[in-house]
Structure 1
């Protein structure tokens, strides 16, 4: 009889509610990751968001989104969103980059560096015509 009582007690402990609690995994962490923490205007920055629910569009003054956040088309990493952006031409400094996931705001910081001078670009623009003389000394 003792064996039957222990078996019955064990089965009662595994009611559907108890079994569901025992097998439900904890929620995945949520985060926002940028492929770089700083960059010059015009450079590319990839974005990854870990979010089991829906993610809002990215909000920032720093990055111009070129490919909006979306899940992988082949179903890889179904908990993640991926996007692409370009560093905007804004004043150098550190700016927030945010996205909302399941009612939670995820924020990362991005530093815009001074624009790189272009090759062949004149650093000082001349103010007047060149002083070559009027030709009378020749």
Structure 2
């Protein structure tokens, strides 16, 4: 009998406390996180005349690409089929400007996004396909070393013993 009284008292306590636990909390609907905003180049340095592709992410109004180092040949545009409307792409060519680091920017919803591009001296590399070899500085014995270019020519192994 005593056990029944204790169980009844415990049950009464739980029933009385249930409304406090059963209260539901209401939450405001959460807005989705904004997409990250970025600007990426296919290369961050190069010589005048070379091509550089540009990719950007912006889910707001995007301004045109601005830079002194790159001439825009195709402006920042989204995919014409509507895929990933926040992804923008452009094509550029490196301008013949003095060597140095230049900002490359666009605005996404009014906020600037900037990366830096380094224009290298036109004379710092041989013309493609010219076959010229770069010479290393002379050593202390007066000899000039030739710096090898490309992969070593070791053969395919078919003549190995």
Q: Same fold (TM over 0.5)?
A: yes
Which segments of 5 or more consecutive residues in structure 2 lack a partner in the other structure? Answer: 1-14, 132-161
Secondary structure of the structure 1 residue equivalent to 2:67? coil
Over aligned residue pairs, what C-alpha RMSD do you find?
2.2
Unaligned ranges ≥5, structure 1: 121-138
Residues 1-138 of structure 1: matches in 2 within 5 Å?
A: 2=18, 6=22, 9-10=23-24, 13-14=26-27, 18=28, 20-21=29-30, 24-115=31-122, 116=125, 118=127, 119=130
Equivalent pairs, count: 111
Partners of 2:75 and 2:61 in 1: how far apart? 13
CA distance in 2, matches of 1:51, 1:99: 10
Q: TM-score, normalised by structure 1?
A: 0.72
- Distance in 2 (CA, whole Å) between partners of 1:77 and 1:113 is 34
Give CA deviations for 1:5-50 in whole Å, capped at 9, x if unaligned.
82xx32x615xxx1x22xx221111111111000111111111111
1:40-64 deviation per Cα after TM superposition (whole angstroms, max 9, x unaligned): 1111111111100011011110000
Moved segments of 4+, more than 6 Å: none
Q: Which has the higher contact order (CA 8 A, sep 6+)?
A: 1
